[in-house]
Structure 1
Amino acid sequence: MLHRQPGSPRGIGNIANSFLLVHVAIATVATLLIKSDPFTFAAKALFPASSILIGMSLAWTTRASTLLQSADLRDALFRNDRRAEDYVYGFQLAILVIMLMVTYVAIMAGGGLSIIVFGQETDSLLSGFWLYLLLSLAMRECWGVVNFTNLLSLLDYRRGEKR
């Protein structure tokens, strides 16, 4: 996750980049505008939705894995500048982010932790902020998995047309 080759996009840099500010902004706006208590919101809406996100991502990752078994497609993708690890670890990082979000949502849906640091109201706001930040990141990663798998499918199809 921390190891990175020059020019390689894999690693924590896929998450900790300039787009993280967009997710922080989304989480801040959601924290301030969503009227529902974040614990109630997690229990009623996000717990079922987050389970669907992880199911979708795993299904699309399986599809990508199947596509990457094609020798022609592997030859087109894997070169010295883009190794197989770049793709595999990218999917793995996406699944990790989604699993962290599901875990956090489950904790929030259960009422959170019985630890008060800054006071009940501030801690609740911070819990909501982290909830919405993880949700935003997980949605981006899920979409990334779907989008990249579709691109692999199109590349595989086009390579088949040329043969």
Structure 2
Amino acid sequence: MDKFWTWLWHGSREGPRGIFNVADRYILIHCAISIFLVLFLKNGPVDFAQKALFPACSILVGLSMAWTTRAATLLQSKDLRDKLFNSKRPAEDYIYGFQLAILVVMIMLCYLAIMAGGGLNISIFGQPWDLKISSFWMFFLISMTLRECWGVINATNMLSMLEYIRAK
């Protein structure tokens, strides 16, 4: 059995590296969304983080945790585990996939907490560019978090459907 960090960077026995769950072709969509929001959102990122995101983050964390718990409950079924886990898709790919989604949420929450607090007082390219770069990463992480939360819900629903079909 691989540990999470080994799975993330090196993959499981037969599967790809776990990082490819988030570093895939859809990353371009997250970049496009982020660039659009940096260019056209009226409020600055600090105001945005302070006013809108902490309640939304609470909801996303709650959803991810609840659905991950549901998935863990479903994976307790021996018949379902026997159908899902094999040499091509070991248990690590399923279980650590959920853990990776929670890690993305936690990274986004830490970044938002820093942004809501006014950001870091470090200037590299000058304030206007630094603010745009910080905004880009904030919106990028938000977009990734939304995708990962949806992925947790979708995977759990698929497990629920498999359990239902298996029980028939």
Specify the TM-score bucket, using the shorter chain as the normaliser.
over 0.9
- Structure 1 gaps of 5+ residues are none
Q: Which residue of 1 aligns with 2:162?
A: 155
Alignment-derived partner of residue 146 in structure 2: 139
Residues in 2 aligned to 1:157 and 1:121: alpha-carbon distance in whole angstroms:
54
How many Å apart are 1:72 and its aligned residue? Answer: 0.9
Q: TM-score, normalised to structure 1's length?
A: 0.95
Alignment length (residue pairs): 161
> Which of 63, 71, 75 is equivalent to 1:68?
75
Paired residue secondary structure (2:118): coil
Compare 2-11 and 95-104 and name the one that shifted more. Answer: 2-11
C-alpha distance in 2 between matches for 1:10 and 1:124: 33
Q: Post-superposition shift, 1:10?
A: 4.8
Correspondence for 2:3: none
AA at the equivalent of 1:54: V
Deviations 1:63-119 (A, max 9, x none): 000000001110110111111001011011111011100111111011111111111
Shift of 1:143: 0.2
Between the aligned partners of 1:98 and 1:5, the Cα distance in structure 2 is 23
Counterparts in 2 of 1:99 and 1:87: CA distance versus 1, 3 Å:
same
* AA aligned opposite 1:106: A
Query: What SS class does the counterpart of residue 2 from structure 1 fall into?
Result: helix
In structure 2, the residue matched to 1:117 is 124
1:58 positional shift: 0.8
> Counterpart of 1:45?
52
Contact 2:12 2:90 (8 Å CA) reproduced:
no
Runs of 4+ in 1 over 2 A off after TM superposition: none
Q: Check conservation: 1:24, 1:133, Cα contact below 8 A.
A: yes
CA distance in 1, matches of 2:27, 2:13: 21
Give ranges in structure 2 of 5+ residues lacking alignment: 1-7
1:58 is the counterpart of 2:102: no
Q: Secondary structure in 2 aligned to 1:115?
A: coil
Structure-1 residue corresponding to 2:4: none
Q: Which digits, 9 at most, give the CA deviation of each residue in 1:104-144, with x for residues without a partner?
A: 11110111111111111111111110000000000000000
Q: Distance in 2 between matches of 1:40 and 1:58?
A: 27
- 1:4 and 2:11 correspond: yes
Match of 1:27 in 2: 34
